[in-house]
Amino acid sequence: MQRHLLFIPGPVTVAQPILEALAKPLIDHRGPEFAALLGRIERGMRPIFGTSNEVAILGSSGTGGLEAAIANAFSPGQRVLVAPIGVFGKRFVNIARTYGLEVEVLDTPYGHALDPEALRARLAADREHAIAGILLTHNETSTGAQNDMAALAAAIGNHPATTIVDSVSGLGATQFEMDAWGYDVVVAASQKALAAPPGISMVAVSKRGWERIAAAKSPRFYLDLAKAREFASLGQTPWTPPVSVLFALDVAIERYHADGAPNVCARHERYARAIRGAMIALDLELFSQPGAHSVTVVAIRVPEHLKADEIRRALREQAGVVIGGGQQDLKGKIIRIGTMGALTQTDILGAIGALEIVLLQQGHPLQVGAGVRAALEVFLGKAAPALARA
């Protein structure tokens, strides 16, 4: 079997000790070992969110966590301001509409981050406080752009809306300070920067968030956060949890803390910088704008003379390197290379080398080795400052 290395922005390449935890014998999910497991995971997640409040552990993908946030925090007819910067932000719009919320969209062109001043201005105009919720994306996986969540928190100031953040592809890769920034509900998932298999979402809720949840009237059952909290206090989940994935997530969180959050964040940043440097050296254009680059995924425009699907197919078949394409409107227009998961510098250099071969085969003129060299310079700490910022 050809080895496949996942450079897609989730699910990611998972380290062997984490995979091995999936094979452990199952335990009683109402017994003491499970209570210890759930407690460790919950406590381990708090510092990653930057919170001292409870984190609900749900059996769902990231989207289930987003749906839980909306279903629990609001009542039908309430107005929410959604500020999408890509496909995942638009998913927030769709979920909110599905729950009968009145959705106002604050648009940002794809590839850009949300301008804190635009958010500040819109909220300043909301003198009546008609906006009950603000829905933001930390890292927009579809465009390779990342929002500055500290700056957005400052822009929100003391507007009383309940703030919800999709940090599914951001949390763990960039420092997040939920309590200090004052966000109410923050959503993450197991299969992104935490580098575990898919199947679990984590929803951190502030004190004010729990109050809003108690008052909100939207229907909810499987994704009832108050119920998850009540059961968690007994060391359980309301429904049968994905026990094996929790075993794996437990090991992943332990390894995350052993590596140290600052080192893990620096690694994602370095990998993203190396890949961006390589793409520029190969005469390819980044899709994300300077100052808005994601650390977990690099989105690259596909020039007219190339085809995204052909690049991806050749990389997969010839080199076992699996990268992402564009979603929805961006299909065929971009390719995406993720930095999350158990990837080494050698893996990154190999993938860039493989991409050089594929680009040459498909008629893209390039200087052989230019991409690998640019990445090496980042890894060796020799990248020119201009490139480092690119």
Q: Are 176 and 186 in contact (CB under 8 A)?
A: yes
Q: Which is nearer to ligand PLP, 61 or 163 (CB)?
A: 61
Please state, in angstroms and rounded to a whole number, the distance separating the CA atoms of residues 271 and 24. Answer: 32
Question: How near is the Cβ of 197 to ligand PLP at its closest, in Å?
Answer: 11
Amino acid of residue 117: E
Question: How near is the Cβ of 245 to ligand PLP at its closest, in Å?
Answer: 12
Cis peptide bond upstream of 11, omega within 30: yes
Q: Which is nearer to ligand PLP, 236 or 327 (CB)?
A: 327
Residues listed for the chain:
390
Q: Are 20 and 165 in contact (CB under 8 A)?
A: no
Q: Which is nearer to ligand PLP, 61 or 288 (CB)?
A: 61
Question: How near is the Cβ of 155 to ligand PLP at its closest, in Å?
Answer: 20
Strands 5-6 and 185-189: unpaired
Q: Which is nearer to ligand PLP, 72 or 139 (CB)?
A: 139
Question: How near is the Cβ of 349 to ligand PLP at its closest, in Å?
Answer: 25
Strands, sheet with 297-301, edge to edge from the N-terminal-most edge strand: 285-286, 297-301, 334-338, 324-325
Question: How near is the Cβ of 164 to ligand PLP at its closest, in Å?
Answer: 12
Q: Which is nearer to ligand PLP, 49 or 88 (CB)?
A: 88
Q: Which is nearer to ligand PLP, 88 or 231 (CB)?
A: 88
Question: How near is the Cβ of 318 to ligand PLP at its closest, in Å?
Answer: 27
Angstrom CA distances, 186 to 51, 57, 239, 389, stand at: 10, 12, 22, 28
* Extended strands (E) in the chain: 5-6, 55-59, 79-82, 102-105, 131-137, 139-140, 145-146, 162-166, 185-189, 200-205, 285-286, 297-301, 321-322, 324-325, 334-338
Q: Are 187 and 166 in contact (CB under 8 A)?
A: yes
How far is Cα of residue 239 from the mean position of the Cα atoms in its chain? Answer: 25
Question: How near is the Cβ of 168 to ligand PLP at its closest, in Å?
Answer: 4
**Residue of this chain nearest to ligand PLP (CB atom):** 62
Q: Which is nearer to ligand PLP, 133 or 199 (CB)?
A: 199
Q: Which is nearer to ligand PLP, 87 or 119 (CB)?
A: 87
Nearest 10 degrees: Cα torsion 267, 271, 274, 279: -160
Q: Which is nearer to ligand PLP, 13 or 141 (CB)?
A: 141
Q: Are 174 and 139 in contact (CB under 8 A)?
A: yes
Q: Are 74 and 132 in contact (CB under 8 A)?
A: yes
Question: How near is the Cβ of 63 to ligand PLP at its closest, in Å?
Answer: 3
Question: How near is the Cβ of 264 to ligand PLP at its closest, in Å?
Answer: 17
Residues near ligand PLP (CB under 6 A): 10, 61-63, 88, 137, 139, 141, 166, 168-169, 189
Question: How near is the Cβ of 253 to ligand PLP at its closest, in Å?
Answer: 18
Residue 31: CB atoms within 10 A of its CB come to: 12
Which DSSP symbol is given to 318? I
Q: Are 55 and 45 in contact (CB under 8 A)?
A: yes
Q: Which is nearer to ligand PLP, 18 or 165 (CB)?
A: 165
Please state, in angstroms and rounded to a whole number, the distance separating the CA atoms of residues 102 and 82. Answer: 10
Closest to 278 (Cα-Cα) out of 346, 352, 340, 389: 352
